[in-house]
Amino acid sequence: MQKPLFRIGLTCLLAFSIFFSAAAQKVGLVLSGGGAKGLAHVGALRQLEANGIPIDYIVGNSMGAVVGAMYAAGYSPREIEQIVLSQDFQNWATGRVLPDKTFNYLTADPNPSALRLGVALDSTFNFQVVPNLVNDLNLNLALAQLLAPGAAAANYDFDNLFVPYRCLATEVFTRKAVDQRSGILADAVRNSMAYPLAFRPIRGLDGRYLFDGAVVDNFPTDVMARDFKPDIMIGVNVGDVALKKYPYKKDDDLLTGTLFFLGTSVADSSSVGKNGIYIQPDLGSLGAADFDAVRRLIAEGDTATQLKMAQIKQRITRRVDTLDLQRRRLAFQQSVPAPTFKQVIVRGLRPDQNEYARAFFRKDGATYQFDELKEGYYRLASDDYFRNIYPRIRYSQEQKGYVFGIDAQRNNNVAAEVGFTLSTRPIESL
């Protein structure tokens, strides 16, 4: 009689142990950088949620930081997909000038230059080329607007977001990785995607310039392991991997992306751990600048995750109830402060110049409307007196409303313009 009872007790204990282990199982998701290719992460998120796979922590880099931050800030995969499929997103990614946000001040006459680079002239008459080719005006305001509510709800602690979050940046002068875990969420994301000859770096509130985390680690599984210590890691890599042999017939197609690849680290597929899951979407010849291929990129991320789903479900036995997840997400979204703007602050210029810039923003009674702040932002950017304006939105507990901040620099009205001629004739006959 004692043996059967012992066996029953042992079976119950084992079953309880398995159940407890599954219930306690924590899952971390790592999203690599890769420019436009990072849009595949949206498809991966969509599949993971659809199959009830838990995401307890998220770490991203570059475009992975953008997608990861939106998810961590309470946006669903469907909402993120709608955002990146919009024409607005194309404007953000390409720096396209918005026709209804163009104002004429001190603008130059049209000219045939193929490339226009800003040149900084300091007080000692030293020249420096301003290293960005993509106008980040639309992107900066969009990130500030999209991520401000979630950051405020988390009280600017990334551990308190809907999903605890990290993103990586690089301090280029010391070649040190910077693990961003608090502060203005849009700033952290913007730091993680600043890349030479693409998006300019922004000066942080601590006075530093930070660049894309891909410079030191494009697939930050080590950040996930160190900061969150998950039981299982899922890593989605859309960055470049070292090829086994030279791609003779595809080298022209791959060349543009390789220019970015040269400055980034190559992902280590084993870094997700022995029980982790590594996902590498097959993106073919799609490159870091192919933002017009959004649907295909999302689909490839979706497909790659589906192909790994059996392995994912085998290794991750815990499931998340879809309705419960929706309720928790809605509760987080409803916890954000109301979008009331109480103050505009301009920094970076002389006091009288800051006041001049602040006058671009019209106040409606005791508060500002965001549409009016947006209008003032683009009016300010259209004035050639200013350059590199950068917006910040932060909630003030004292004022019970948001503060719209602008970092501005005075323009020196110097530019270098480069042109070239296309012809079917030899150059010596031109």
| pLDDT of res. 128 | 47
Q: pLDDT category, 415, cuts 50, 70, 90?
A: low
361 strand-pairing partners: none
* Mean of all residue pLDDT scores within the chain: 84
| pLDDT of res. 255 | 59
Q: What is the mean pLDDT of residues 156-179?
A: 95
The answer to whether the CB of 84 falls within 8 A of the CB of 294 is yes
| CA-CA-CA-CA dihedral for 46, 52, 56, 58, to nearest 10 | -20
In a domain, 17, yes or no: no
Percent of the chain residues past pLDDT 90, beyond the cut: 64
**Model pLDDT for residues 61-92, shown as the tens digit of each residue:** 999 999 999 999 999 999 999 999 999 999 99
In a domain, 313, yes or no: yes
Say which residue, 9 or 383, is predicted with more confidence.
Answer: 383
105, pLDDT greater than 70: no
The answer to whether the CB of 189 falls within 8 A of the CB of 167 is yes
Residues 157 and 127 in one domain: no
| pLDDT of res. 175 | 87
**Model pLDDT for residues 169-198, shown as the tens digit of each residue:** 999 889 899 999 999 999 999 999 998 777
In a domain, 423, yes or no: no
Q: Which residue has the tokens 């751990």?
A: 273
How many Å is the maximal CA-CA distance in the chain?
Answer: 105
Say which residue, 16 or 310, is predicted with more confidence.
Answer: 310
In angstroms, the CA 176 to CA 213 distance is 9
Q: Domain of 355: which CATH number?
A: 3.10.20.310
364, pLDDT greater than 80: no
Q: pLDDT category, 246, cuts 50, 70, 90?
A: confident
Q: What is the DSSP string of 46-60?
A: HHHHHTT----EEEE
288, pLDDT greater than 60: yes
4, pLDDT greater than 70: no
| pLDDT of res. 103 | 61
| pLDDT of res. 194 | 92
Percent of the chain residues past pLDDT 70, beyond the cut: 76
Q: Which two tokens stand for residue 123?
A: 């007080």
Q: What is the mean pLDDT of residues 240-247?
A: 63
Q: Which residue has the tokens 């031109």?
A: 430
Q: Which of 136, 137, 150 is nearest to 80 (CA)?
A: 150
Q: Which residue has the tokens 């045939």?
A: 112
Within 10 A of 362 (CB to CB), how many other CB atoms are there?
A: 13
Residues 171 and 242 in one domain: yes
Say which residue, 344 or 387, is predicted with more confidence.
Answer: 344
Residues 331 and 349 in one domain: no
Residues 6+ apart with CB under 8 A from 107: 382, 384
| pLDDT of res. 241 | 62
Q: What is the mean pLDDT of residues 398-427?
A: 70
Domain end, chosen from 283, 306, 335, is at 335
316, pLDDT greater than 60: yes
| pTM metric for this prediction | 0.83
Cα 144 to chain center, whole Å?
11
In angstroms, the CA 83 to CA 79 distance is 6
Residues 127 and 259 in one domain: no
Give the chain's domain count: 2
- Residue 228's Cβ-side half-sphere holds a number of Cα atoms within 13 Å equal to 29
In a domain, 363, yes or no: yes
Q: Domain of 312: which CATH number?
A: 3.40.1090.10
- Which residues form the domain of 301? 27-95+136-335
Q: pLDDT category, 270, cuts 50, 70, 90?
A: confident
Q: 29-46: buried (b, 16+ CB within 10 Å) or exposed (e) per residue?
A: bbbbbbbbbbbbbbbbbb
In a domain, 286, yes or no: yes
Pairing relationship of beta strands 277-279 and 232-236 according to DSSP bridges: parallel
**Model pLDDT for residues 118-141, shown as the tens digit of each residue:** 554 444 444 444 445 578 999 999
Domain end, chosen from 335, 369, 387, is at 335
The answer to whether the CB of 337 falls within 8 A of the CB of 149 is yes
> Helix, strand, coil proportions of the chain in percent (round to 5)?
40, 20, 40
Domain end, chosen from 335, 358, 383, is at 335
Residues 274 and 294 in one domain: yes
In angstroms, the CA 48 to CA 68 distance is 13
Q: pLDDT category, 332, cuts 50, 70, 90?
A: very high
| pLDDT of res. 11 | 55
Residues 375 and 296 in one domain: no
Q: Which of 305, 327, 318 is nearest to 230 (CA)?
A: 318
In a domain, 173, yes or no: yes
